[in-house]
Structure formats: C-alpha cells, structure tokens
Amino acid sequence: MTKAAGAARQGTAPRNYPKGERRRAQIIEAAFTAFGQVGYRNASMVQLAAACGVSRAGLLHHFPTKESLLEAVLEQRERQDDAHFFRTGAADRDGLEYFASMIRLVAHNQANPVIVSLFAVLSSEATAADHPARPYFVARYERARGQMQSAIHDLSARGLLRPHVDPSTLAADLISLIDGLQVQWLLSPETIDMPRHLRNVLRTVIGVEVP
C-alpha cells in the first residue's frame, strides 16, 4: 500500500505523493549527473534547479541543503548497488556468495571513478563532528561491518575460515582495505587493480577460492 492510498483509506485528502516522488527522483538523477560532471563542490543548487525545471524554492523544499541532496544520491546509489550485486539474497546466507558479490561490486566501481571519488570525498568530509552526512556514514559503516561479519561467521561455521581470524576485526580490516584502495586507484589507476587486491587478500583468510 502506498502512502497516498493509505491516506485516502483514512478519509483524508490524498496528497499528491506520486508527483512529489517523481520530482524528487528527477532531482536526484540531475544531481547525480551534475556531481559526476563538475564535482560536488562545484555543483550549484541554482543550476541544478534549472536543470530539473524547478524553482530554487521548489528544489529547497525537497532538499534544504546540497549535503542532503548528496546524501539522497548516495543512498539511491547504495540501494541500486545492493539490488544489483546482492540481488539473489544468497549473499545474506552464504558467506562465499557475499564475498563473490563484493568482488563484483569492486570491479564495477573500478569502471566508475566519479562515483568512487564522490563516496571517498563525502565519507571523509562526513567525519567532521558537525557534518550533516555524519549520521548516515556512521550507520552505513556499522551496517557494512555487521553484514560482512555475518558472512565471515558463515564461513567460520562451515570451516572455511583460516585459523586465528576474528570476524569482527576482519570485517573492519576488509572494509578499510576496499576504501583505502579506492583512493590509491583513483590517484594511480595504472598501478592498482582493486578486485585483484581484494581477491588476493581474501585468499589469505578464506580456505577456498571465492567464486
């Protein structure tokens, strides 16, 4: 049941959610393109509004700040990545499938420097105590560590984990590896092959080859 349908059933006037949601999606799409083309810092809310055919006030109604818009862009990207790379749901139950999906996602990122750069910049900026995206990134990393720990626990239960590996420590380490490789790859793409590095490190902690 959509929110609009819910409101109608409760006898209140149905608000025009679908139109608002379409407009919101349209703004996110335009911002995605703009951030990719001119960078987050250089993108202007005025130009973004013009590109979507909305007034500046209309844009600010949906996204009061440029940070909140970028956050929406990142959240959508994350949902798309999840849907695409972890689509079967098998990654939730099968640690090997989880890491196979992770290698595919990292290989996909290696074809998208603009997105990788945006994520790297914003996650670092967001470490500032007063940054509006800080709660989002705190939650995002907690979730990422939790999901990876579950995958590692599954491998451990199946006897596929090398001895003396602590799942919680390893999850933070592997996420750090992936994040850190992105910066080196963006700066020296000819030197760093991210999926190769990840696969190589996984060989040292997992007893079988990740498919």
Residues lying near a second copy in the complex (CB under 8 A) are found at 39, 41, 113, 117, 120-121, 123-128, 134, 137-138, 141-142, 145, 166, 169, 172-173, 175-181, 183-184, 186-188, 191-192, 197, 200-201, 204
The minimum distance between CB 166 and a second copy, in angstroms, equals 8
Measured between alpha carbons, how far is 153 from 125 in angstroms, rounded to an integer? 32
* Shortest CB 27 distance to a second copy, Å: 23
Are the CB atoms for 70 and 35 separated by under 8 Å?
yes
Complex with a second copy: residue 26 or 150, whichever CB lies closer: 150
* Residue whose CB is less far from a second copy, 108 or 131: 131
Residue nearer to a second copy on the CB measure, 24 or 145: 145
- Among 168, 173, 158, which residue's Cα sits nearest to residue 204? 173
Residue 150 DSSP SS3 = helix
**Nearer of residues 39 and 58 to a second copy, judged by Cβ:** 39
Distance from C-alpha of 162 to C-alpha of 152, rounded to nearest angstrom: 11
- Alpha carbons 35 and 73: distance in angstroms, whole number: 9
Q: CB of 30: closest distance to a second copy in angstroms?
A: 20
Q: How far apart are CA 85 and CA 77, in angstroms?
A: 12
CB of 128 to a second copy, least distance (A): 6
User: What Å distances lie between residue 58 and 23, 48, 52, 65, 133, CA to CA?
Assistant: 10, 11, 10, 12, 22
Nearer to a second copy, 2 or 127 (CB): 127
- Closest distance between a second copy and the C-beta of residue 2, in Å? 34
- CB contact at 8 A, 92 and 86: yes
